[in-house]
Chains A and B, each alone.
Chain A
Amino acid sequence: MSFISIQDVFFSYDEVEEGKPVRNAVDGVSLDIERGEFVAVIGHNGCGKSTLAKQLNAMLLPDSGKVIVDGDDTSVEEKTFDIREKVGLVLQNPDNQLVASIVEEDVAFGPENLGVAPDEIRRRVDEALKAVDMYEYRTHAPFKLSGGQKQRIAIAGILAIRPQCIVLDEPTAMLDPSGREEVISTLLRLNREQQMTVVLITHFMDEAVLADRVVVMDSGRIVTQGTPETVFSQVELLKRHRLDVPQSAELAYKLRGCGLKIDKIPLTQEDCVAMLEEAMR
């Protein structure tokens, strides 16, 4: 069985009132996420992707349908804490997620609350800070760090709980280009080296390109999903859903429209240069 299994989930924020049509934020989603997978979820503002993310660790519970995490149903109250230990959530604004005035204390907050023994906390904090490459900042004050650094501290705080999966809701929206790169390369490293399951919700198509699988959502439903290659070749479909493709893919798509033969839509800069070089030789 998959690590996370979302089974026909419906969810609405509206109170059910008579005569008022209910709009479902999540409107019948089924999705399986495998252990060690890197899944990107894209979709326009209000498409339901954040609501879906909050279903993954029982922050929100489905109105109908089920979310099963590692064999446990999120709607079973006794399992809530187990599930939150397995699936950690990182949000958009790093300033809203940091609680302590010293970096290492902030990272220790999670395991402390779980009643982990002090020497084990020490070990976990050091390990988590090293994993996000922030170990040398362990005695700094979080408010004096850059956005990218703060977001990595937030990720370390989740890692110290030793989850099997991290869900990130637009973690780079407020960061500058190098901050974005720091966060994304940290995620890739965790995924590739520690087989961490990563679910990344993003508006940046160049980040989604790096995932194993891309899921496209609109109006609370999954519109399409597949490898980045298959998803981002569907330029028109994406634009119809208020999304975009990386510039390299857009250029290739436009040239193909003029008759250029392209076998595979290039998703990265390097692929695009190689493709154009080939075409013009």
Chain B
Amino acid sequence: MNCVLELKNLGFVYGKGTPFEKRAVDNVSLTIKRGEFIGVIGHTGSGKSTLMQMLNGLMRPGEGQVLLDGRDIWEQPKKIREVRFKVGMVFQYPEYQLFEETVYRDIAFGAKNKGLEGDALDKAVRDAADFTGLKPALLDKSPFDLSGGEKRRAAIAGVIAMNPEVLVLDEPTAGLDPMGREVLLSQITRYHKECHNTVLLVSHSMEDIARVADRIIVMNKGKLAMFEPTKEVFRRGDELSRYGLKVPQITNIMQALRRRGFDVPEGVLTVDEAFDALLPLLQKEGKLW
């Protein structure tokens, strides 16, 4: 199996040995295959951010190992910087991290530090801008003249330009309007499809996760509560609500119909799927044109 990331008995404790000691991540083991689109969900304080920050060596695990392409990322602590080019991290509200004079230079910053230059750097910047839907005309502007949505795209483009093997996005759609969410999500999906890179998407929006993820990591109180295909996770609605999470409204509606004896499929995740499932049933009843 071609796995890109492997976590072995990973653990992390904040403030160890102090009265504020708190175990944030507790014995997490899992394997992520190359090219997978992984959703990460969990309530606030469930440990998902700590887990994500251990993936690129921003935090050093107290226990266990993170293997990237089969090698422990802390094998040579001095080379940890290389890991950060391979596992690109987009934090929450990344628009506050822009700092360069132009959008172009801001996007180029990471790729340049990685060692790209000349035409290769130019191509990386322009491709990343294209993936995130930033118009070329914006590249010469100051990042501070962009709208909030554009700033966020620019920040994401800066990470994509490094062409990371694994792209980690922490709540990339928080605070965006419905259309903004939709567009950004479809751009991330397109990036994933065309680059075949692995994507981890952390989100509080079950609807978003349901639409894009192949498999879902569910964190609860620092432990890995589930790591299953998307349909399987959202089939276990009762369990999710115990973890302070939810199931998309449409999944609940179809589940309720199933319980009432209607022949609709299990694990419907999107409105389109529900529509396709209901159409023949309604046709049979002669309720449609």
Chain A residues within CB distance 8 Å of chain B: 43-46, 92, 146-148, 170, 173-180, 203, 205-206, 239, 242-244, 246-248, 250-251, 254-255, 258-261, 269, 272-273, 276-277, 279-280
Contact = CB atoms under 8 A, between A and B. Distances in A.
B246 interface: yes
Contact of B288 (A148, A251, A259): A259
A247 B271 contact: yes
A190 to B, nearest CB: 22
B177 A45 contact: yes
A280 B256 CA distance: 14
B207 interface: yes
Interface stretch (B74-82, B112-120, B272-280): B272-280
B249 A242 contact: no
B148 A269 contact: no
Contacts of B182: 244
Contacts of A43: 177
A174 B249 contact: no
Given A45-B147, A247-B207, A247-B249, A258 B288 contact: yes
Interface string B192-227: 000000000000101100000000000000000000
Contacts of B45: 146
B253 A176 contact: no
Contacts of B250: 247-248, 251
B60 interface: no
Interface string B37-49: 0000011110000
B179 A243 contact: yes
Contact of A203 (B42, B178, B206, B274): B178
Given A45-B177, A177-B246, A205-B178, A279 B287 contact: yes
A179 B46 CA distance: 13
Given A254-B275, A258-B279, 12 more contacts: A44-B180, A46-B147, A174-B92, A203-B175, A242-B178, A248-B250, A251-B278, A255-B278, A255-B279, A258-B288, A260-B288, A269-B256
A170 B285 CA distance: 43
Contact of B44 (A148, A246, A247): A148
5 contacts: A43-B177, A175-B204, A254-B271, A255-B275, A280-B281
Interface string B161-192: 00000000000001111111010000000000
B287 A261 contact: yes
Contacts of B252: 269
A276 B250 CA distance: 12
Contacts of A177: 43, 204, 206, 244-246
3 tightest A-B contacts by CB? A259-B289, A244-B178, A242-B179
Nearest to A149: B44
Contacts of B177: 43-45, 203, 242-243
Interface string B53-82: 000000000000000000000000000000
B149 interface: yes
B99 interface: no
A178 B279 CA distance: 33
A273 B256 CA distance: 7
A244 B183 CA distance: 13
Nearest to A277: B260
B253 A146 contact: no
A280 B180 CA distance: 35
Nearest to B263: A280
A260 B282 contact: yes
Contacts of B207: 247
Contacts of A276: 253, 257, 262, 278
A13 B249 CA distance: 39
A147 B271 contact: no
Contacts of B246: 177
Nearest to B272: A254
B88 interface: no
A173 B174 contact: yes
A44 B182 CA distance: 12
- Residue in B244, B245, B257 with the greatest tally of chain A CB atoms within 10 Å: B244
Contact of B282 (A148, A179, A279): A279
Contacts of A46: 147-148
B40 to A, nearest CB: 12
Contact of B175 (A170, A242, A248): A170
B287 A206 contact: no
B178 A251 contact: no
Contacts of A174: 92, 174-175
B174 A176 contact: no
B51 to A, nearest CB: 15
Contacts of B92: 174
